[in-house]
Copies of this chain bind each other. A is one copy, B any other.
Amino acid sequence: MEPMTEKYVIGVDIGGTNLVVGVIPAEGGEPVALRSAATRGQRGPAAVVSDVGTMANAVISETLQRTGASQEQVVGIGIGCPGSIDLKAGVVLTAPNLGWSNYPMRDHISEQLGLPATLDNDANCATYGEWWQGAGRGAGVLSGVTLGTGIGAGLIVDGRIIHGASGSAGEIGHTTIDFTGRRCACGNYGCLEAYASGPNIAARAREGLEAGYKSLLVKLVDGDLDQITAITVYDALVQGDDYAHEVMLETAKILGAGIANLVNTFNPEIVVIVGGVTRSGDHLFGPLRSEVRRRAFKSAVDACQIVPGELTQKAGVIGAAGIFVATCEMDQ
């Protein structure tokens, strides 16, 4: 195996909201250069590929300047994208949050930059990042859970991502926690995501207010309840609002049921939770851990830590780059 020392890999994290591109040392470590921009996915995938090209060239230039490395030391691109992915073909089959389908993302970005590329699901990338360089470093059996516009998970055993039969392993956002419950955007009832995704935390908060609960939240959005987001709920919570506290507690219990299911099914030694909601810290993690303990198998709970990610917004780019590195090593 050729040593990867002093080689660099471009990490690309295409999110529903933000597009992040960075250069990561192939042997691991912090990004040498990093750019972030709005994805604006409604322009279509080709416009985003063009943005990726521009941003990648900028971070490459910055890296060469800063490290004295040559262009040849940048050896490839790891890409993460939400939705269902055909891993072998490098195609985004459907990305509902972006409105894309059947787009050969890997090859278009590869051609744009003249470098080999890999493509994987964004939750897998964030999970791999936390396993490679973050809170789950070196764990034998790890699960990452991404909380955001959607809820996803990645599963890693002995350093390898479990992709499943069609690349959709870890879709815990659409696991049922209440089979007669709340309708989800996917058409199903009682999905975890129908309660605990960012937009649905906000929706549940709004519903309570419309039903007459009193809360600081109303003032925080100047009475325009449509402006409530998961972040507003968190802001009201830290200002001591009882109702916001109740919404967060319920969120933690629901997430706890979903994560207990993951713990019982997959028995990970660590669950790393990634995404903006983790800023709620112990307001979220305290009741969440209690609920998992209450619901999951004792031997599985005793063997499992539940922790926030360490890489924050960089988990996706670092993990995408790490997957490229691992794929090269496997091919050699």
Contacts and interface: CB of A to CB of B under 8 A. Distances in A.
A141 B157 contact: no
A9 to B, nearest CB: 26
A93 B153 CA distance: 29
A141 B168 contact: no
Contacts of A167: 267, 299
A92 to B, nearest CB: 12
B261 A168 contact: no
B304 A165 contact: yes
Given A175-B261, A178-B179, A165 B297 contact: no
Given A174-B297, A177-B176, A297-B84, A169 B266 contact: yes
Interface in A186-245: 186, 188, 190
A175 B196 CA distance: 18
A43 interface: no
A140 interface: yes
A223 to B, nearest CB: 32
A296 interface: yes
A267 B176 contact: no
Contacts of A93: 299
A62 interface: no
Contact of A164 (B84, B257, B266): B266
Contact of A84 (B178, B265, B299): B299
A49 interface: no
Contact of A265 (B141, B165, B172): B172
A130 interface: no
A174 B260 CA distance: 9
Nearest to A262: B265
A141 B165 contact: yes
B265 A265 contact: yes
Interface in A6-65: none
Given A141-B164, A269-B165, A300 B171 contact: yes
A156 to B, nearest CB: 11
A257 B174 CA distance: 11
A211 B164 CA distance: 44
A14 B297 CA distance: 21
A173 to B, nearest CB: 8
B178 A265 contact: no
A94 B303 CA distance: 15
A88 B190 CA distance: 39
A267 B179 CA distance: 20
A264 interface: yes
A254 B190 CA distance: 13
27 contacts: A84-B299, A94-B299, A141-B169, A153-B265, A164-B303, A165-B267, A165-B269, A165-B300, A165-B304, A166-B302, A166-B303, A167-B299, A168-B264, A168-B267, A168-B299, A171-B264, A171-B265, A174-B297, A175-B264, A176-B261, A176-B295, A177-B177, A178-B179, A179-B253, A179-B257, A261-B265, A265-B265
What 4 pairs between A and B have smallest CB-CB spacing? A164-B267, A165-B269, A166-B303, A169-B267
